[in-house]
A and B are shown apart, each in its own frame.
Chain A
Amino acid sequence: MRLARSDIGLKRVYPLLESLAALIVGVIGGFIVAAALGYDPVASISLILLSGLGNLEYLFSISMPLALSALAFILPLRAGLFNIGVEGQAYIGALAAIYILSLGLGFPLPVILAPLAGALAGFLIGVLKVYRGVNEVVSSIMLNWTLFYTVSFTVSRYLRDPLIVHQSVRVDRMLPALEALILTLAIVIAVHIILYRTTLGYHIRVMGSSPEALKYSGGSESRSIIVAMTLGGLLGGLAGTLQVYAVSGFIDVTMSAVFGTGFMGIAVGLIGRATPIGVLPASILISALIIGGHRLELRLGAPPELADVIIGVMVLALSAPYALRLLSLKLWG
């Protein structure tokens, strides 16, 4: 028996409409804050929105690590796990990349080996959860700082640039932008295939829907947790790798090149509605906003955080449809 199909098409585009609506709400939020701070809201907001589009190569180079760290967040999320540790995984991935590149090893070895460091961090979080019952959010946050200082120490002690003391050695042969872009796209597609076409992804999604159902289906909860967190760590590590290998070329002791890649990836993952394909437009949008924020500071002297306001309000607005659904159930049941 089948019911009418009429509204199926609408349902498909629903997430996209919600994300667009969230963008509008975010822009309005930025508008208000800009006006409240005494800057010309129209000029500031249009600068934020449009100036990122001026240099596409730069735009993509910012968005690639973000897309990867977003994947690092959403893959475990589909299993019901919050990988807040993307940030630390990116640090350690970046460090490993610097080290491997400093040995003179070229493509593809850095992008194969360096992410393993992130995978190890993810694996540790998963193992702690399975065998010691440690909530992954808690261990992730702690691990982020542990890795921050470990990387900082290692850079200043062993991988220091002989001329600039607080910086690491530079990568002499960077990955060309086009190759980095193709790699990123391939990874997005790979994650999509893993999630939707393989038994592994199937188990991950069943667990995200109901851990009891996973047990019933014959899948192992422990294995799914560890595998999902390890894969998340691998992707987080790759985000850091690409950040130094294709974008910045070095890291410093304050991690300024990588700092925020993981956390912003969480926002990108949410704005992409936790789907690998959705991550692509979301990462480009967020990168444009980030670039716009910097341009804003240069041109109008306004704080670049105005862009963060827009992103923040967007993420909040995205949770609104859910809240609205609950509310409408209550009011009109």
Chain B
Amino acid sequence: MPKPEEVKYAKTHEWFHPGGEAAVGISDHAQHEMGDVVFVELPKVGQKLEKEKPCAVVESVKSAFDIYAPVSGEVTAVNEAVTSDPALLNQSPLENGWIFKMKPSDPGEAASLMDWNAYQEFLKQASH
């Protein structure tokens, strides 16, 4: 399980863990803001992803949220467990609640994502 400090963050609150098979999910802040997650529309394995383009949908009781690809690439695996138990996104956003894994096409793209400190600063700015 990656620690919150070990992953990179997009401005749209996805996390991206570049280690091994790169995994993508939503940040703890995002799950908190969404509230109870009740449905996840996963991407398809093999689906081509374009950085910052919507590729999945997370539905909470109150609203739907698009999930944007943090970097470009191709989906290599999806987390079927969140289909039957969407609350995993709330309970364990960085571990059991991962959404999909991917093979990035341009390793350089991840550089534009924020590290933990930058993300904390970003959240602070956004709340003002």
Are A and B physically bound partners?
Answer: no
